[in-house]
Amino acid sequence: MAEKILNKITQFEKWITFGAFMILVIVMFSDVALRELTGAGLHWSRQIGVYANLFVVMFGLGVASSEAAHLRPKFADNWLPKTWEPFLEQCQEGLMFVFCLLFSIVAAQVVIETFNDNVQSIVLRIAIWPFQAIIPLAFFLTSIRHLIYTFYPNLRPINNQTEELVSEEV
The ranges of the chain with pLDDT < 70 are: 160-170
pLDDT in tens, 84-112: 888 888 998 999 999 999 999 999 999 99
Q: What is the pLDDT of residue 160?
A: 56
Residue 153 neighbours by CB distance under 10 Å: 13
C-alpha 98/C-alpha 46 separation (Å) is 34
CA 141 to each of CA 21, 134, 150, 151: distance values in angstroms, whole numbers, following the listed order: 19, 10, 14, 16
Give the pLDDT confidence score for residue 168 in this predicted structure.
Answer: 52
